[in-house]
Each structure stands twice: as structure tokens, then as C-alpha cells.
Amino acid sequence: MSDDRFHIYDTTLRDGAQQQGLSLTVADKLAIARHLDTLGVGFIEGGWPGAIPKDTEFFKRARTELTLNNAQLAAFGSTRRPGLHAAEDPQVIMLRDSLAPVVTLVAKSHHRHVEKALKTTLRENLAMIADTIGFLRAGGQRVFLDAEHYFDGYLSDPHYAIEVVRTAMAAGADLVALCDTNGGMLPDQIAEIVSAAIASGARLGVHCHDDSACGVANTLAAVDAGATHVQGTANGYGERAGNANLFSVVAGLQLKKGFQVVSGDRLGEMSRISREISRIVNVPPDSHQPYVGASAFAHKAGLHASAVKVDPMLYQHIDPLLVGNDMKMIISEMAGRASVELKGRELGIDVTRDRAVIGRVAEQVKDMEARGYNFESADASFELLLRTALGEQHEYFTVSSWRVTVERDANGAVTSQASVKLTAQGSTTVAAGGGDSPVRALDNALRAALEETYPELAGLTRTEYRARVLEAPSAVTRVVLECADGDRVWSTVGVNQDVITASWEALEQAVTYCLLRAGRSAAPAACLVPAG
């Protein structure tokens, strides 16, 4: 396990799983735990054995299926029920029988919650805390206490909130994590209240929610005030507005405050781990997430690009490689010459010496975006445009004509048929294809016409199709087509007043880009993307 003097405690599998629309299988939880262990967190909270069947199964399977090199598993549960002894409470016994080396108990620390939610006395609540901690400690497990609603409770009755902390520590808890359960605190409040609890002599942690958009800031403020245990979730998952984002907390502690909370090489895995966990939970990654988001180091404004060209750190707070991320240039109507030059460099195309090309492409982008194109989400289209401007573009096929028909039969079933006439490598071909939509029928017809000449197109897959009607300057439809060839994903864009024509434009570019990536060569030809 990592240094016990400072804890990174992850609660994605329990508190994060409470996010609306997120449902984890046991296999999901095991996979996420492995990624978190790779990052180097100290503790992974696996769930509530005894209360939730999947969590009971998780701890059972973890004994034989989960090998952790850095982290320890923690089981979560509550203190005993009022009026029982801990040894008589089935839920507490299940925590013991989970065999987790650490148990995190949640306890009420707000007097109103004790009286209204638990329906017991303040004195009995303290007895529940002491009895449950003592029972689990006697069985050899470490115990952390989550003091629920601590900050709101302290503002209402500071004496009782502090007494909860003292009781837990006296009973043998390793630490007490103060919870901003409602997520409404601000950093100055967190710092003041943590400092007051530190004065009691306790070891403290913090568990913050993000309802005031201060989850990460509050966590860092608590550390400044003396907390040595921080809790959070991967990608900030959690109920309501989510929890403190553990990735931002770890990066902030290590890169901003100098805490060595994970080894440096593991920090470089953070962006990859963030994406992998997003994939497992089937929640689209937040591209604007600090540190690990795809847009965290993306530059769009021409002024920014000019500065970044001189020194990337003029508009970046850290080197993105430290967290396994990359700087990205966004091409749009805001792009200037520097944006085009840097984007070309990102794509492996050196245009530094051809100032005239850089200027023409920058103006072409602005003109096309004014007509509805958007290269921000279509890197492949921009690369084709740039290579064309440099005279590098190749024409792999020339389309003479295409047509598509849509038919609805008597049973209401709708099908599409398409035909394409084109010339490739000197041979003219007419091919047909069908599908459940006009775009799919055109895709199949185009592939059928090219499959013998370019067999590598068999690996091309269409992964996403997006269409949007734009009102300015005239009513047109923008289609963005995302494709993949097994090891890379790219997008192309088409614009036209007719949605099928816009789709064809994006499709033709996608096939062209696939052949370009495959290293195919052909005679130089005219632009395959719309001219400026």
C-alpha cells in the first residue's frame, strides 16, 4: 500500500455508482478497481456488503479475482441500529464477514439527523458509533468513520459535531472523514471547520460533494487545513451534481501542492484511465473535464494559437503529458495562420515554409465555416483540405453519378436502394447497394463499387452519424460522419441544403481519408472537399 501518512480514497464503486443513469455490474466494479489500483490510489471502497447483493458478491469475488498492487479494499456500512449491540446487528456482522481489511462506517454527526432520521437520542448515537467501531476493531479490521452532514451539523451545533469526532477516535477509529454531504459548503467554511476539528487531536479526512461546484476546491482547502485523507470519485461521478473529482484532486495535490500522492509514472496514466472508466460505465467522457478531458488542453482562438506557437505554457497551466493528455489545436472560423500551422504539425504536416498556403487555408476555413462547415469536429476533412492546398491530395476515384430511392411497402417497412457510377484506377464501375436508410444504402453502393480495387475498405466502419439543420446564412444541413478502421477514429463533414447530398460529401471524404491512411497512391487530382 502507498504511504499511510496521506490517503487517496476512491469511492467510485459505492458513492459514484449512485449517479443517475449509472448502473455497475460486479464485472464492471472489478474492472474499475483494477484501473484505480493502476493509478495508485490507497483505498478502493467496494460497496455495502449485506445491504446490496451485488456488493456482497463483489467482495466475495474480489478475494479470488482481484489482485491489488497498491490499494486496499474498504467495505462501507453504517453503525449499528439503535437499541442493539453491534455483535447482534446483521448488517455489522456482514461488514466483518466481508473480510475487507478496512471498514468505513457512516454515522450521523448532525443533531437534527440523529433525532429526525435515526429517531434516537444524541447519547445513543454516540454509543452506536463507539460500539460498532470497537466490535470491528476487535476483529482486526481498520475502521474509518464518515461523519455524515458534518459541516452543516457543525454550523448548527458545533459541540455535538466535535463530540462525534472525539467519540470515534476514542473508540479506535483510524480517522474521521468529515462529509459535506449536501455539497453546499465553500472553501473558506471548509477550512475553518476542519481547523476546529483538528484542534481536538483527531486525524481527519474529507468527503465533498460538488453541488456548489466547489468539490475539488473544498477538498484542497481541507488538506491545507490539516486533513490527511481525501475521498472522491473517478470523473466526479455521484448523486446529484456528483462528488469531488478524484482525478482533479490527485493532480491538484501532486502538481500544484507538491504532495507525492501517486508515483509520477502513474500520474501519466490518468487520462487513459479516465477514458477507460467512462467506457466501462457507458457514460460519455466529459471533454471539458480538467486535466484529463479531450478539450482540457485544446486551443481554438487565433490569439491563443499565436502565443502557443511561441511557448505552449503561455496558455497552459501544466504540461499535458504529465497527466497523459495532449495539446490540441481546434480549427474554426476563429483560426488564424498560427492555428493552421500548429494543426498541421499536430497532423504530421509541415507547412511552416509555405506562408501563402497557410494564409489561403486560414481564409478558406473561415469562408467554409460561414457557410455551415465545422472543422472543429472533423479533423479528417481539414487534413484533406490542407493536403489539397499543398498539392499532396490524391484522387482515388471519380464519381460520375449517384442516386438513391426510398420505398415504403404495404406493411409500412421502409427500405432504400442506391447506385453509384465511378471510375477507379482506370476502370469504370456501376454498383448498387441497399440499406435501412439512404445513407447506409449509399455507403454500401460505394463500397461495392470500390471493394475489388481497394480491399482495405473492408476494415472501414461507420461509428456515428450526426445531422444538424442550420439557419444561417441559409437553411442547410451539416452532417458529421465518424468512422474507424480498427486503430483510429476520424470524422468528416458535409454541408448542403439536401441532407442526403451533405451525407454523401462526408461519406466520400471518409472513404478517401481511409485510403490515404492506408498509404494508397494515385494520380494527383482536384480537391475532394468543397473549394473555398
Residue position matching grid coordinates 478524484: 246
Whose CA is closest to 331, among 384, 392, 378?
A: 378
Q: How many CB atoms lie within 10 A of CB 470?
A: 15
Q: Cβ distance 6 to 261 under 8 Å?
A: yes
pLDDT number for residue 1: 47
Give Cα separations from 291 to 317, 326, 376 (angstroms). 10, 10, 20
Q: Please report the pLDDT score of residue 337 as a whole number.
A: 64
Burial (0-12, 13-18, 19+ Cβ within 10 Å), 39: buried
Q: Which residues contact 419 (CB under 8 A, 6 or more apart)?
A: 402, 403, 404, 430, 431, 432, 433, 445
User: Are the C-beta atoms of residues 72 and 102 closer than 8 Å to each other?
Assistant: yes
Residue 392 CB partners (closer than 8 Å, separation 6+) = none
Instruction: Provide the 10 A C-beta neighbour count for residue 274.
Output: 26
Can you name the residues that pair with 233 across neighbouring β-strands? 245
Number of residues in the chain? 532
Question: Which amino acid appears at position 200 of this protein?
Answer: S
Q: Which residue type does 495 have?
A: V
Q: Which residues pair with 465 in a beta bridge?
A: 481
Tell me, what's the pLDDT at 530?
40
Question: What count of Cα atoms within 13 Å lies in the side-chain half-sphere of residue 454?
Answer: 27
CA 77 to chain centre: 28
Cis amide prior to 473 (ω within 30 degrees): yes
Cα–Cα dist 17/33, whole Å: 13
Inter-CA distances, 73 with 45, 58, 428, Å = 6, 11, 65
Using the 8-state DSSP alphabet, how is residue 79 labeled?
P
Cell 440499406 sits at which residue?
435
Within 363-497, strands assigned E span: 398-408, 414-424, 427-435, 461-470, 476-484, 489-496
Strand partners of residue 299: 329
What is the distance between the alpha carbons of residues 28 and 283, in angstroms, rounded to a whole number?
Answer: 13
* Residue in 276, 263, 272, 379 with CA at minimum distance from that of residue 321: 272
Residue type, 14: R
CATH superfamily name and code, 7-267? Aldolase class I (3.20.20.70)
Residue 178 contacts residue 150 (beta carbons within 8 Å): yes
Q: 529: closest CA among 421, 423, 378?
A: 378
Q: What is the dihedral of CA 59, 63, 69, 73, to 10 degrees?
A: 30
Query: Hey, CA dihedral for 215, 220, 225, 227, is it positive or negative?
Result: positive
Q: Where are the domains of the chain?
A: 7-267, 299-366
For residue 71, what pLDDT is reported? 95
* Amino acid 95: pLDDT: 96
Neighbours of 316 (CB within 10 A): 15
Question: Residue 497 in 3-state DSSP?
Answer: coil
Q: Which residue has the cell 436502394?
A: 417
Phi-psi category of residue 47: left, alpha or beta, with phi > 0 → left and psi -120 to 50 → alpha: left
* Ordered per-residue pLDDT tens for the chain, 532 residues: 457 899 999 999 999 999 999 999 999 999 999 999 999 999 999 999 988 899 999 999 999 999 999 999 999 999 999 999 999 999 999 999 999 999 999 999 999 999 999 999 999 999 999 999 999 999 999 999 999 999 999 999 999 999 999 999 999 999 999 999 999 999 999 999 999 999 999 999 999 999 999 999 999 999 999 999 999 999 999 999 999 999 999 999 999 999 999 987 899 999 999 999 999 999 988 989 999 988 787 766 555 555 555 566 667 788 888 998 877 665 555 556 666 777 777 777 777 777 787 888 788 777 887 788 877 778 888 888 888 888 876 789 999 999 999 999 899 999 999 999 999 988 999 999 999 999 999 999 999 999 999 998 988 998 889 998 887 567 889 999 999 987 788 899 999 999 999 999 999 999 999 998 888 875 444 333 343 3
CA distance 148 to 441: 58
- How is residue 453 written as a grid cell? 480495387
Closest CA to 40 of 208, 263, 268: 263
